[in-house]
Amino acid sequence: MIALVVRLEVHAERLDQFLAAIKENAARTFNDEPGCHYFDVTQDTKNPLNFIFYELYEDEAAIEAHRAAPHFAKWREAADQCVVKGSQVNTITKRLFHHS
């Protein structure tokens, strides 16, 4: 399993637009992409303009399929308007173990 961890900050005046766009992207990713095992969107409790996404994929090919999906292109358009330039950091990690 491969995790994609995304950290970013949103422009305050674009928060509602951002939330609608990421809600749609996360739902479409989880429901439409068989390689996606989960897609969590979290919001910082101290700074509500900071977000972390934790996405779990079968492998790197599933991440590439995600990035090629039509709903991802729609998400990127919204992100380009909503996310503070230079704030997004993507990290790909290997999941070692999971507690359920």
Helix-then-strand count for the chain, H and E: 3, 4
Q: Which pLDDT score, from 0 to 100, does residue 99 have?
A: 83
Q: What digits encode the pLDDT tens for the residues 36-62? A: 999 999 999 999 999 999 999 999 999
* Chain-centre distance for alpha carbon 21: 10
What is the pLDDT at residue 15?
A: 98
What span, in angstroms and rounded, lies between the C-alpha atoms of 67 and 61? 10
Average pLDDT of the chain is 96
- CA of 20: how far to CAs of 24, 27, 74, 91, 95, in Å? 6, 11, 12, 23, 28
pLDDT tens-digit map of 64-83: 999 999 999 999 999 999 99
CA–CA separation, 83 and 100 (whole Å): 32
Q: How far apart are CA 68 and CA 56, in angstroms?
A: 17
pLDDT for 100 beyond 80: no
Confidence at residue 98, expressed as pLDDT on a 0 to 100 scale: 85
Confidence at residue 92, expressed as pLDDT on a 0 to 100 scale: 96
Prediction pTM value: 0.92
Q: Are 37 and 57 in contact (CB under 8 A)?
A: yes
